[in-house]
Structure 1
Amino acid sequence: MTKPPIALEDRQQSGARRFSPSAGRNKEVIAQQLKTILPPEAHVLEIASGTGEHGHAVCASRDDISWQYSDPDAESRASEDDWRLESPMQLRPSLPLDMTAPDWWGGLPDYDAVYSANMIHIAPLEACEGLALGAAHILREGGVVVLYGPFLDESRSAPSNLEFDKNLKARNPAWGVREQALVKHIFAKAGFNGHRLIEMPKNNHIYVFSRD
């Protein structure tokens, strides 16, 4: 059986380490935003860490952060663990977390933030729901969920995001760029009533959720 793709782009590889063209373009601007969003001495759980470049960039910008990689894909975890070798005191060995698995948060410690980039549109909606539910279990008081990626905004949606949504649904009907209001509703059901959107390049956003 052919494995489903874990990315929608061609990636370079050196040993176990992978390089994402999109992460190469966005990791620094994301890191700059996370520098201001994350509290001091933050313990962060990243969901669907992919190549591992985002966590590496964030830790390079803030030496007080502890970053936990995770991914359901073994080859992605190997890449993340290779990037970890450059910051072994901050980056933690990757965990095989799957947001569609029941009680995926079982046995995990508490965190100050849960971060996920470009995951919820290349996964069934159950992955977003599982992310919200699990975050509610493992976030400390004052903790935040930070999502990065494209979102739809009804009639105000960017044409490029609408086209991307069609492309994703053609690949897999369970995928798709999610409406801002739907994501907001999913996290509100899990107790995250605070939310804010930060505009990012290329019609992407950072969506921050809190219990406020």
Structure 2
Amino acid sequence: MAAARALPDIVWQPSDPSSEALQSIEAWRTADPLPNLRAPLRVDMTAPDTWPEQTYDAIACINMIHISPWQATEGLMALAGQVLPVGGLLYLYGPYLEKDVPLAPSNAAFDESLKSRNPAWGLRDSRDVSLEAKKHGLRFTRRVEMQANNISLMYRRF
């Protein structure tokens, strides 16, 4: 909602694999209708049969990579490689492990908490994410430090 309100010239297509999340998105959307916010789609990055087929100028993926199995990241990169045009943007936001950047104690504790809930979850090394992106025609273009020890990673399709 906040992104759609802040960027009214962009049409937003929310998605999630969870029925509960989809119901929540729709409830918020119905309570405060915005002309640039579409109804949510059920999309599971580990299930290609749920992926949309139309093209998108950009994909924003916020706080998913660390709270999902690695196969979801692989799926995200494959989907981005299929639906983004040349020059299209893949924007990732969340905590990552980075070579030569000390891991904040809060992120280390968060990583342990995630792994205790599901051993397939956890902070991902940004280099591994970039290597997976490259396999699908995506080139790393920018890193931006964000609040609460998160970062934004941006990729363009080439």
TM-score for both structures, normalised by structure 2: 0.91
Displacement, 1:102? 2.6
| 1-structure distance, mates of 2:140, 2:152 | 14
1:54-93 equivalences under 5 Å are 56-85=1-30, 86-93=32-39
| 2-structure distance, mates of 1:165, 1:105 | 28
Q: Percent identity?
A: 44
Q: Structure 1's 122 and 128: CA in aligned 2 closer, same or farther, altered over 3 A?
A: same
Matched, 1:149 2:73: no
| 2-structure distance, mates of 1:169, 1:93 | 32
| 1-structure distance, mates of 2:51, 2:86 | 17
Whichever residue aligns with residue 152 of structure 2, its letter is I
1:12-161 equivalences under 5 Å are 56-85=1-30, 86-106=32-52, 108-154=53-99, 156=101, 157-161=103-107
Say which SS state the counterpart of residue 163 (structure 1) adopts.
helix
| 2-structure distance, mates of 1:115, 1:127 | 14
Say which SS state the counterpart of residue 196 (structure 1) adopts.
strand
Structure 2: gaps of 5 or more residues: none
Displacement, 1:104? 3.5
The aligned residue for residue 35 of structure 1 is none
The aligned residue for residue 130 of structure 2 is 184
Displacement, 1:167? 1.7
Whichever residue aligns with residue 12 of structure 2, its letter is W
Retained in 1: the 8 A contact 2:5–2:34? no
Retained in 2: the 8 A contact 1:104–1:134? no
Retained in 2: the 8 A contact 1:152–1:158? no
User: Any idea what the Cα deviations from partners look like across 1:21-63, whole Å, max 9, x if unmatched?
Assistant: xxxxxxxxxxxxxxxxxxxxxxxxxxxxxxxxxxx11111121
Higher helix share: 2
Say which SS state the counterpart of residue 114 (structure 2) adopts.
helix
Displacement, 1:155? 5.1
User: Any idea what the Cα deviations from partners look like across 1:113-169, whole Å, max 9, x if unmatched?
Assistant: 111111111110000000000011111221111111101114522222122112211
Say which SS state the counterpart of residue 106 (structure 2) adopts.
helix
The aligned residue for residue 157 of structure 2 is 211
| 2-structure distance, mates of 1:78, 1:169 | 27
**Relative contact order (alpha carbons < 8 A, sep ≥ 6): 1 or 2 greater?**
2
- Calculate the aligned-residue CA RMSD, in Å: 1.5
